[in-house]
Each structure stands twice: as C-alpha cells, then as structure tokens.
Amino acid sequence: MASVIEGQHILLHIDGKIMDDQQFFEPNSTSVSLTLNSSNYPYSLSVKLTYHDYIEHIQDHKLLLVIYFLFLCGALSWGAYRLMNKPETLETLETLIASAIENEEIIPYVQPYVDKDSNMVGVEVLARWLHPSKGVINPDLFIPLAEDSGLIIPMTKSLMNQVQKKLSPHQGCFSQEFNISFNISAKHCTRSELLEDSLGFLNALSKAKVALSFELTERELIEDTREARELFDALHLHHVQLAIDDFGTGHASLNYLNLFHFDVLKIDRSFVQMVGTNSVSMHIVENLLDLAVRLDMKTVAEGVETEEQAKYLRSHGVDYLQGYFFFQPMPLDEFINTYLDVSL
C-alpha cells in the first residue's frame, strides 16, 4: 500500500473527520480511491488517485505484464483469424484438387436417361471427389473452383480416360446406340486437345455402338472466336454432339444457338419441378420445346422426379427424360455391374 500512495495526497480519517497535513475536511467534501484501516487504532488513511497516477504505477510496476497481455491478445487474434479462414487458401485448395485429379480420386458417376418408352439410351457423366479420409465430397464444393482455376480441363480429360478404360472390356454389351455425355467448360472451346480427346475416346470404344456428347451450361457463354467455331465444326464432323445445359436460366440468344449449332437442348430442372404447380413454368417449358423443334434440336428434361412430370413431358414431345424418378447418379462400376450384363 505504501508503494501505491507514496508521494500522493494522503488523508487521515479520525473521529468522523478528515484532515491532511494542513486542514480538516467535511466527510462528504472529498472522494478517495484507496483506504487503509488501522487494526489497532480508530483511524484510517486514504488517498485519491488520478488517471495519471494509474498510468505511472503501471509504467513503474506492471509494464512487463501489460506487454505480455498485449502479446497474448495479438497471438489469440491471429490464431482465430487463421482458424476462421482455414479451408486453407485458394492456392492450397487448387493444389489439393490438382492432386486429386492426378491420383484419380475424382471419379466418374453416371446418371442414365431414358427415351419416351423408358428405355435407357444414355448416361451423363458426373464428377465426384472420393476423398481418402472424408469420403465423397459434394461437387458444389470443388467444381466452381476447378472451373475458375482451369483445372476443369484436366479433370474432364481424366474422367474421359477413366470411362473409356472401364467400358472398353464391355463393348459387346451395347446392343444399340448408346450416348455418353460429359460436361465441359467454355474454356475447353479454345483448346484443340478436346478434339484429340474426343477422337481417342471414340477410337477406344470403336467396337461399341457409342455416341459422344458434350454439355455446356448456358450460364457460361462461349466467346465467339475462330478457334471455337473451328473446334465445333470439327466435333460435328466426327459426329460428336453438343448440348446446351440449364437452358432457360442464362442469357443465350437465338443467334447463339444457331451460331454454334447445338444438337440438344436440356431443359433446366427448375422448370421441370414446377410442372403441375406453376402455370408460368409450364408455359416456359412449352416455349422451349417449340424453340427446339424450330431449331431441329433434340430435348432432354432434367430433374424429373414424379410420374406427373414424366407424363406431362412425354405428352409434350420431350425426347429424353432424366431424373431421380428413373435413375439416381451412381458410380460407374455400379452401372457396369448392374446394367451392362443385360442387353441395352
């Protein structure tokens, strides 16, 4: 206590009065910060401390403790920041995806689709990340980053290689033309290697009645360049079909559809799921079907989940139907073991 009040204005409290070294004070006329009572005599000492007194005391006696406290707060803040931003960095995630592609952890799933008579006529190949410790990772968590980073191109190439290797021993099981469709990015359309990959895929399955298709989402429009036009012309020359996916949700124009000569129009699931409940969406579906007829395009309805939806789409001339009502996405191995032991 002596060290705290040393050099300060000390007051003596005795017999209900307060005095300093010069005069008495009324009890209510002053305020104090610290008081020390005598255990043997009826008096006490007090001192009034100012803000500057506290600062001076800290500087003289607690400076190291303050520095340690500030350092600890800084360390905790930095740790919290790193923890909250943990999904590593984008660079680290890109490295993980690149490694997963190289190690074939990103594997092909397939979702079959059917014709008007419910006959299976093709499959759409979907990417799934089979992480060695976390299991199957939702594609929504890695596909957007793969597209932004350009890793979608080697990912698609890997999926095509895996599919052709797994299907090659079963080529005799295809008794009728069967379509295999891959999703590609607009970035592919400036790369001639897509044509090379396509020809390699078709040559590897030349003994089977297999047709190849590529799907491009309407939300990622292709830039009109000479390279893109030449690539599309070459793909068509080798009977590779092009489909525009998620149609009705983006900004494609009639001129865009004509420019790149799409063969298939895929009606987005958001419209299909409102069949029977939303008259506006039903009119949109009818208009899309009418557009497809005018452009001589085949149609695929995605996201079919009910008998009512399937019946409506069939009655309005949709060529192919895809969705959980018919088949859920499945690993390619499961598809081979389940469906390729019978005539397709």
Answer whether residue 292 shows pLDDT above 60: yes
Q: How confident is the model at residue 313 (pLDDT cuts 50, 70, 90)?
A: very high
Q: What is the mean pLDDT of the chain?
A: 83
Nearest one of 6, 28, 8 to 20, comparing CA atoms: 8
Choose which CATH entry (3.10.620.30, 3.40.50.2300, 3.40.190.10, 3.20.20.450) describes domain 90-339: 3.20.20.450
Q: How confident is the model at residue 108 (pLDDT cuts 50, 70, 90)?
A: very high
Answer whether residue 209 shows pLDDT above 90: no
pLDDT for 3: 39
pLDDT for 29: 57
Cβ neighbours for 130, distance < 8 A, ≥ 6 positions apart: 105, 106, 107, 136, 137
pLDDT for 23: 67
Per domain, the residue ranges of the chain are: 2-84, 90-339
**Cα 30 to chain center, whole Å?**
67
pLDDT for 188: 84
Residue 259: exposed, middle, or buried by beta-carbon count in 10 A (0-12, 13-18, 19+)?
middle
Looking at per-residue pLDDT, the higher value among 222 and 182 belongs to 182
Helix pair 152-167, 193-204: axis angle to 10 deg: 10
Average pLDDT over residues 160-175: 92
Q: Which amino acid is at 84?
A: M
pLDDT for 193: 87
pLDDT for 1: 38
Residue 23 has which token pair?
């005069």
Cβ neighbours for 104, distance < 8 A, ≥ 6 positions apart: 158, 162
Q: What is the CA radius of gyration of the chain?
A: 37
pLDDT for 255: 74
pLDDT for 343: 47
3-class DSSP state of 105: coil
Q: How confident is the model at residue 203 (pLDDT cuts 50, 70, 90)?
A: very high
pLDDT for 301: 95
Q: Burial code of 39-78, b = ≥16 C-beta within 10 A, e = fewer?
A: eeeeeebbbebeeebeeeeeeeeeeeeeeeeeeeeeeeee
The pTM of the full predicted model, rounded to 2 decimals, is 0.72
Q: How confident is the model at residue 26 (pLDDT cuts 50, 70, 90)?
A: low
Looking at per-residue pLDDT, the higher value among 274 and 336 belongs to 336
Q: Say if strands 43-47 and 10-14 run parallel, antiparallel, or are unpaired.
A: antiparallel
Q: How confident is the model at residue 2 (pLDDT cuts 50, 70, 90)?
A: very low
3-state helix, strand, coil in the chain (%, to 5): 45, 20, 35
Looking at per-residue pLDDT, the higher value among 278 and 90 belongs to 278
